[in-house]
Structure 1
Amino acid sequence: MEETIIPKTSTVLGALLKADFTVQWRNRRAVVLVLLVPIIIVTTWKGMIPILGGAYVLSNSITLGLIAIGLMGYTNSIARDRDKGIFQRLRVAPMPSWAIMSSRLLVQMILIALVTTLVFIAGNSFDKITLTRAGYALTYFAAMVGGAVYLSLGQVIVGLIKNPESVNATSRLVYFVFIMVGMFTGISQMDNKPNLFEKNMIQIVTWSPYGTVKTILAAGMVPGSWTMDTTNALLVTLGYTVVFAVIGIKNFKWNTK
């Protein structure tokens, strides 16, 4: 009787990462579109910099980029691979289930670092926005924390909805809502005398996943502006991540049956 050889976890994870990066390269057009979104925001919101500041524009741009990665990239790729039976085939291989998802998440984290870097480059090239070393480092940290929120939110969508077309439609709808929220906050904060409705909406948006991520990103770019409200925003962001992750993982099915 032949002895079954179980490969090392590190070997399996390395193979999965190579395969996932290959898939990203083959779908590079979709990846490029995701990366272009925040750069477009940086260039088109240039007029807001003298009014709201460079950190505001960059933080909004990165936030929308994180949303694009979490909802348009990660969610749809998971739904597509599940529908094709890729996950079902991977699960019968001699590898732990956590390695399968860890590989996907690590690829998304690298994309988050890439989109943050591109926003910094675009901000410096088009708008002459520069940060301190501490500002750059803290912003990368905030981007990773913020990216985790939208990856976990994407996990909720793909966990609750099995049909890939429905997942695609839902993720697009949620993404559109976030874009509208970003535009609303930008317009409202440029108004020196917001009405009661606008004030209430600003408070709601401030403590939404969009608002808390934007808050910690903006404060990260200017470390001296970090306040207790920023710390609270960080804690709320981590809370959103935990809640979304628990719901998404609990309801996730490896196949569509």
Structure 2
Amino acid sequence: MYTIGEFAIIVKLNKKTIRYYDEIGLFQPAYIDPNNQYRYYKREQINDLNRIIKLKETGISLEQVKNITTDSEDVSMKDIYNKRLSEIELEIEKLKKQQDNIKTLLSTSHAERNVNKEFDISKGYYIEQGLIVYQKTEKQKDIHDIINNFYNYAGNKVKLSSGHFFKRSLDDNSDGISEIFAYTTNASEELDIKTQTKELCLRILCDSIENRDLAYASLFDYAKNNNIVVGSIYERYKMNDGKMQIEIMFGIV
């Protein structure tokens, strides 16, 4: 058997780390001398510790490593690595979004926006009557996933006659986007299709995504100042001369 010093050299770890793995029940010595509490390790344990090291190097937490190494069932390392690879790809995607946001912030003016920016608010039947194909959304789901899932769902089963709309709710039990839908000219038994009624709305055509928050604030202010009760909230994105615009509509109860 090997002393902890010898074993540390063999596996290229420091003694402190090996002791810590013992303390948390992750990797224990083959024998502890009852007289001096010295730890001793067997040659067969080299592979066990190397497996732990390799798992840790993939970014898997020590708690997860412990669960994997103590699992009585036959765990496929290939499945573990594939799962971790998927997690890493999601992390990379998240970091790329953060990187893009930082680049955008660096390229834009740092001047404070005028929070009292004025918008043109109009009233009309901006939500028309017609058949719509719709899909309920999950709470806190990424907006890009919502869009992708909707178009994969609708697919080539029906012809969409409009771009997609997001539907939001002021209900305390709702969270974010509650529904995504688009108008269609034909029905399908394979999809969730219903008739959308004509709806009187307040509307702002927001000039940019950056001013979306101020547009919403203006609509809420207008509704309160004019004693208007807001029902459903609709949002649609449009391209105009290569620039993204947001059409925001508040249904009037």
- Scaled to the shorter chain, the TM-score interval is under 0.3
- Tell me: higher relative CO, structure 1 or 2? Use CA pairs within 8 A at least 6 residues apart: 1
TM-score, normalised to structure 1's length?
0.21
- Give 1 or 2: higher helix fraction: 1
